[in-house]
Structure formats: C-alpha cells, structure tokens
Amino acid sequence: MKEAAALLAKEKGSAFVLAGGTDLLVRLRTGFIEPDLLVDIKRIAATRSIQVTPGGFRIGAAVTGAELGEHAKLKKAWPGVVESANLIGSKQVQGRCTMVGNLCNASPAADSVPALVAAGAKVVIVGPKGKRTVPVEQVPVAPGRTSLKKGEIIESILLPKRLSRSGDAYLRFIPRTEMDIAVVGVAASVTLDAKGVCIDARVALGAVAPTVLLVPDAAKALIGTRMDDKALDALAAACSAACRPIDDKRGTREFRIKVAGVLARRAAQIARKRAGGR
C-alpha cells in the first residue's frame, strides 16, 4: 500500500487509483480524464478482505459490493450499509464496485456514503506522511472533490462494533427500480433502550446538497422518543429543512425537499424494526 501511495505521490501528471473501475473507466472512456498513471490496488491483499476486529469491521478498499452482500456477519450488524452498497449499479457493477470508490468519486448522490456516515464509519488513509484515520463525512468536500492529498490512498473503511438493539437502513428514490442515480438518499441508524426508547441516532442525506449531509437535528428529533408518529414528523421536517438541493435533470428542488422527509420517515421505521423496536 505504501508503494502504491509512493507511486501516486511521485507522478507529475494526472494519477488515479483503480479499484473497481466502474466510475473511472466511464470517465476514461468518455475522454473526461486522460491519466498518465493508473495504480491498480486490487492485487494488494489487504484491500480485498473484510475483517472482524475488536472495534468492529475493517473493510478493504477493493472489497466489492457483491462481496459485502455475501458477508453474513457484516450484513447482520450493518444491514443498512450493505444494502446501500448493494444498490450501486447493476449485478454487473456489483461484481466490481467498491464503497471506497463510491466515496472518493465524491458524488453527492453516492448511495453508500449516507449509510456510512449514519453508521459513524471512518476511513484509514495511507499517504507519504503515514496513516491517518478520519470520519467518512470529512472525505468529500465538494462534488467530485475530496480532502485526500496527493499521494494519499484510502486503505480501508472502519465500521464500529454494533451495540445491541441497534439498526440501520438506507432508502433512496430513483425513477426506475434499478440502474439509476439517487435523486434523494436517506440513511438512518438508531439504538434503542430496553423499553424501546431511542437513545442514539444518526441520520444522513444524499443528493440534496453539494456533499452528503449529516443532520444532527434529525437525530435530535428521534433521541428520547419511542419514534412515534410525532417524532417521525419532526424527523421528516428536520430532514426537509436540512436540504439545500438544486434543480437538475434528475429532480426538482421541491421534489427533493419533500421526498427527503418521506424517505427519512420510512428509513427510520425500518431501522427501528431492525433494532428490535415494535
């Protein structure tokens, strides 16, 4: 991994990391990028495994969507994260695409990023100056731009250990049933106490702002409640209020604001159910 980072750091022209390539090759093919150097990290063993660690899970940068879906333990602990990654593209794309690629592409509409943010995931970055670990939400800074410095590569994603009575979910809106980019994406992660009261929550939105948004007000709407209709209404309102969307070919501002609230409510209900709530 260090060698790969060194190669990237040394290159004077444009250099890119290749893992799944499902975004990179499209940009290459359409002439959008003309790299002088491509570094394929798939053959580095560390990038290919999902490890259960005392702290939770360590997911290598080149682990594909399909592999995430086949990992029973991960799926049980973080079903929302896995379902978000499994929504990226077709079965064909699933065999190649990675969450790290999804993150580094820095699209505000990336499916797996809201789920990772809601999960409180961190990334391990390897670079010329050694390793550093940062929360996922600090990686994308603008559409198509990340906070990674020259020569830095994300080596893995760290998902925390799952507390009991916890659940997460990701829902997105697309016009078709498959193959689309999210018009709105919402991820919710909740933890309940024995009585079914929400004691912790994180809610993140995709495709409604230049980067994926973590919405503290949405979490506040849930914490301390039994996630009843009133709390869900407040959640929906908080999510809609947090949106700073644009009108584009995929949807209007109004649509995104309204549907963010609708999906937040639905995602929270699924997360609650997964946490063992009624």
Partner 1 sequence: MSAIHVTTKINGDVVDYVCEADETLLDVLRNRLGLTGAKEGCSTGDCGACSVTIDGRLTCSCLVLGVEAEGCEIDTIEGMADGEALHPLQRKFLEHAALQCGICTPGILVAAKALLDTNPEPTETEVRFGLAGNLCRCTGYDKIVRAVMDAAQEMRRA
Partner 2 sequence: MPLDSTPQDKRAFKVVGTRPLRPDGIDKVTGRAKFGADATAPGMLVGRILRSPHAHARIKKIDTAKAERLPGVKAIVTRADFPDHTNGDAALFDILYNIMAREKALYEGHAVAAVAAVDAHTAREALKLIKVDYEVLPHVTDVDEAMKPNAPVLHNTILTDGVEPKPRKPSNIVRRYEFGHGDVEAGFRRADIVVERTFKTEATHQGYIEPHACLANVGPDGQGELWVCTQGHFMVRDTCARLLGMDISKLRVTASEIGGGFGGKTTVFIEPVALALSRKANRPVKVVMSRDEVFKASGPTASTSIDVKIGVTKDGRITAADATLRYQGGAFAGSPVEFGAMSAFACYDLENVRAIGYDVVTNRPKQAAYRAPGAPMAAFAVESVIEELAHKVGMAGIDFRIKNAAHEGTKSSYGPTYGPIGLLPTLERAKQHPHFKAPLGPNQGRGMACGFWFNFGGQTCVSLNVNSDGTVALSVGTPDIGGSRASMCLMAAEELGIPYDKVRAIVADTSSLGYNDVTDGSRVTFATGMATIHAARDATRKLCARAAQIWGIPEEAVTWEKGHARPAGPNAGNFPPMSLAEVAAQAGATGGPIAGHYEYSADGAGVSFATHICDAEVDPETGATRIVRYTVLQDAGKAVHPSYVEGQFQGGAVQGIGWALNEEYIYGKDGRLQNAGFLDYRIPVCSDLPMIDTVILEIPNPGHPYGVRGVGETSIVPPLAAIANAVSAAAGVRLTSLPMSPPRILAALEQQNAKRIAAE
Nearer to partner 1, 47 or 240 (CB): 47
Which among partner 1, partner 2, none contacts residue 38 (Cβ within 5 to 8 A by kind)?
partner 1
Task: Give the gyration radius of the chain's Cα atoms.
Answer: 18
Work out which of 3, 12, 13, 30 binds partner 2, going by CB under 8 A.
30
The b/e string for 227-251 (b: 16+ C-beta within 10 A; e otherwise) is beeebbebbbebbbebbebeeeebb
The yes or no reply on residue 170 touching partner 2 (CB under 8 A) is no
Edge-first strand listing for the sheet containing 198-206: 166-173, 184-192, 198-206, 213-214
Q: Given candidates 8, 21, 151, 170, which one binds partner 1 under the rule CB under 8 A?
A: 21
Question: Which one of partner 2, partner 1, none interacts with residue 147, CB within 5 to 8 A by kind?
Answer: none
User: Which residue from 27, 128, 255, 269 is in contact with partner 2, where contact means CB under 8 A?
Assistant: 255
Which of partner 2, partner 1, none binds 173 (CB below 5-8 Å, type-dependent)?
A: partner 2
Counting contacts by CB under 8 A, is residue 60 touching partner 1? no
Considering the complex, state which of residue 71 and residue 258 has its C-beta at the smaller distance from partner 2: 258
Q: Which of 38, 197, 199, 234 binds partner 1 (CB under 8 A)?
A: 38
